[in-house]
Chain A
Amino acid sequence: EDKVVQSPLSLVVHEGDTVTLNCSYEVTNFRSLLWYKQEKKAPTFLFMLTSSGIEKKSGRLSSILDKKELSSILNITATQTGDSAIYLCAVENYGQNFVFGPGTRLSVLP
Chain B
Amino acid sequence: DTGVSQDPRHKITKRGQNVTFRCDPISEHNRLYWYRQTLGQGPEFLTYFQNEAQLEKSRLLSDRFSAERPKGSFSTLEIQRTEQGDSAMYLCASSLDRGLGNQPQHFGDGTRLSIL
On A, residues with C-beta under 8 Å from B are 4, 31-32, 34, 36, 41-45, 48, 50, 88, 90, 92, 95-103
Q: Check if B41 is an interface residue, CB within 8 A of chain A.
A: yes
Q: Which residue of B lies closest to A31 (CB)?
A: B102
Question: Given A42-B91, A50-B101, A97-B56, does the pair A88, B42 have CB atoms closer than 8 Å?
Answer: yes
Question: Are A96 and B102 touching (Cβ within 8 A)?
Answer: yes
Q: Which residues of A contact B41 (CB under 8 A)?
A: 102-103
Interface size on B, residues (CB 8 A): 26
In the assembly, what is the distance between CA of A45 and CA of B104, in Å? 7
Question: Are B48 and A96 touching (Cβ within 8 A)?
Answer: yes
Q: Is the interface of A mostly helix, strand, loop or mixed?
A: strand
10 residue pairs, one from A and one from B, having the closest CB atoms: A100-B42, A42-B107, A41-B109, A45-B104, A100-B43, A42-B109, A43-B107, A48-B104, A102-B42, A103-B42
Question: Are B42 and A101 touching (Cβ within 8 A)?
Answer: yes
Fill in one digit per residue for B99-114: 1 if any A CB lies within 8 Å of its CB, else 0. 0011111111110000
Question: Given A31-B102, A43-B43, does the pair A98, B33 have CB atoms closer than 8 Å?
Answer: yes
Q: How far is the CB of B47 from chain A (nearest CB, A)?
A: 10
Q: Which residues of B contact A101 (CB under 8 A)?
A: 42
